[in-house]
Structure 1
Amino acid sequence: MSVEELLDGLEQAVDAGERRAWAVRCAHALGLEGIAVSLRWGAELVWFSDDVSARLEDAQFTLGQGPGIDADFTEVPHQVADLEAGERWPQFASEARALGVRAVFVWPVRSGAARFGGLTGYRKEPGFLTGPQAADGLRVADALTSRLLAWRSGAVVSPNEPGKAGAVDLHWAEVHQATGVLSCRLGVPMEEALVRLRARAYASGRPLTDTAREVLAQELPS
């Protein structure tokens, strides 16, 4: 399936399963093995194709480093063709290699000059994208920008589905909730509470979301 055909079908990707299936097809059309979209420089994961792409975003958020956070987009996309070749993000590169990832590519999710997120793709083999792949990835990012800008429009949030927000899911809603809990519990600013939560997750070797759920569970009455 071509990227143009995929973009024509984007509006039909309504529920979580359809969105993930669409993202898988889109990744393959771009010559990638997975893609993910995060907002606010990696602070909120809203769309991903597979567990590896989600774990890559989780690693960036936990460590506070990685191409999706640091890309300056002097060239679009930002291409890390071989994670073995550089030392810019040593901890992230180590986590990515553990997942079998060798190359990472990031396109801006933006409206005009305002950037509010990134589309990140990965491959398990090193190498640059072709010109058409790079251009098609930007088309996908632009299409997702339009979708995400309207993500709360008319959304009905079910009380049984925390974190749901219309066209996307807030996969790190519990992380932000746990950050608030730690901020109150420890009497520290939100920024420091998030740093401590990240440090706890990294030290334990567990996903940040699992660590956040543990913090929240401690607040529940026995």
Structure 2
Amino acid sequence: MWRLVADRADQRTFTGWAGVVCQVVAEQVGVDATSIAVRSSTHTEELVAVSGPWAGQLEELQYTAGEGPGVDAYQSGVPVLVPDLAAAGHRWPGFAELTAGRVGAVFAFPLREGAAPLGTLELYRRRRGPLSLDQLADAAALADLAATALVVDTGDGVAESAPWARADAPGHYDDVNVATGMLAAELDIDVEDAFLRLRAHAFSHDQPLLEVARAVLGRRLGAEAFRD
């Protein structure tokens, strides 16, 4: 797996190691799309790399819903394998509703640096069905490489999330964090409550969370839209 990633990176076709890992996962494991996201125990998330636009759209829908296989994989620290998303939709009703008819199967692998959780590698497929044992083994190995791509050694024995990795993604969620802070200040509520209101508005209006956040930042959507 490492040789495949290194060979592809040498071709200089893609920007950044994380993006190369996403492409190799899609090709080697036989899925339609992949994404790598850095997560935290709060609502913070950073989309680091995607194999294509569809993967980015699906990851944003999961972020909007606030639930899904990737969220569970990060929190549990174990892979969440969903060969039939429609049949497992009761586990994540919001995510299942937003992705209805778009996704057949999802396979989410936690990314860790030692005992510390970093984020997730997610594999999406339009058709239903499980991964083979060989595909699972390849995906697990590539998840380890994805974690390596996210971490940089500071030189003092401390591993941190590599800031350059974020350049791989076509967009990220910094605007959501800024909009959340604005709402918290304008409504005089805590940040967590502000984020929940932002997410609830996005879900109820069938809009991506990032789109709603940018509307708030652009003053196209005022704080009154988020009052009780």
TM category (shorter chain) comes to: 0.7 to 0.9
Give 1:207's aligned residue. 208
The secondary structure found in structure 2 opposite 1:79 is: strand
Q: How far did 1:122 drift? A: 0.6
Q: TM-score, normalised by structure 2?
A: 0.79
User: Aligned residue for 1:7?
Assistant: 5
Q: Where do 1:156-195 residues align within 5 Å? A: 165-169=163-167, 171-195=172-196
Contact 2:32 2:125 in 1 (8 A): yes
Q: 1:64 to 1:132 in 2, by over 3 A?
A: same
Deviation at 1:178, TM superposition (A): 0.8
Match status 1:95 vs 2:98:
yes
Q: 1:49 aligns with which of 48, 51, 55?
A: 51
Please report the RMSD computed on the Cα atoms of aligned residues, expressed in angstroms.
2.8
Name the SS of the counterpart of 1:83 in structure 2: coil
Q: How many residues align?
A: 204
Distance of aligned partners of 1:165 and 1:101 in 2 relative to their CA distance in 1, 3 Å threshold: same
| Superposed CA offset, 1:50-79 (max 9, x none) | 2221122112211111111113355xx321
Q: Which runs of 5+ in 1 are unaligned?
A: 154-163
3-state SS in 2 of match to 1:128? coil
Distance 1:152 1:95, change over 3 A: farther
Alpha carbons of structure 1 residues 11 and 149: separation in structure 2 relative to 1, 3 Å: farther
Take 1:175 and 1:184, find their aligned partners in 2: how far apart are those partners? 14
Task: Give the secondary-structure state (helix, strand or coil) at the position aligned to 1:198.
Answer: helix
Partner in structure 2 of residue 35 of structure 1: 34
For 2:153 and 2:22, the matched residues in 1 are separated by 17
Where relative contact order (Cα < 8 A, 6+ residues apart) is larger, the structure is 2
Instruction: Quickly say closer, same or farther: Cα 1:186–1:10, change in 2 above 3 A.
Output: farther
Q: Distance in 1 between matches of 2:21 and 2:176?
A: 26
Matching residue within 79, 82, 86 for 2:81? 79
Matched residue type, 1:6? L
Runs of 5+ unmatched residues, structure 2 = 156-161, 221-228
Q: TM-score w.r.t. structure 1 length?
A: 0.81
Alignment of 1:131-150 (within 5 A): 131-150=133-152
Contact 1:20 1:50 in 2 (8 A): no
Answer yes or no: is the 8 Å Cα contact 1:62–1:208 preserved in 2. Answer: yes
Q: Per the alignment, in what secondary structure is the counterpart of residue 56 of structure 1? A: helix
Amino acid at match of 2:116: A
Is the 8 Å Cα contact of residues 9 and 20 (structure 2) preserved in structure 1? no
Tell me how far apart the structure 1 counterparts of residues 4 and 82 of structure 2 sit (CA, whole Å): 25
Distance 1:196 1:102, change over 3 A: same
Q: CA deviation at 1:97?
A: 2.4
Runs of 4+ in 1 over 6 A off after TM superposition: none
Alpha-carbon distance in 2 for matches of 1:199, 1:46 = 24
Aligned-partner SS, 2:129: coil
State the 1:20 CA deviation: 4.6
> For the Cα contact (< 8 Å) 1:28–1:34, is it kept in 2?
no
Q: 1:125 Cα deviation (Å)?
A: 0.9
Percent identity of equivalent pairs: 35
Q: 1:43 to 1:54 in 2, by over 3 A?
A: same
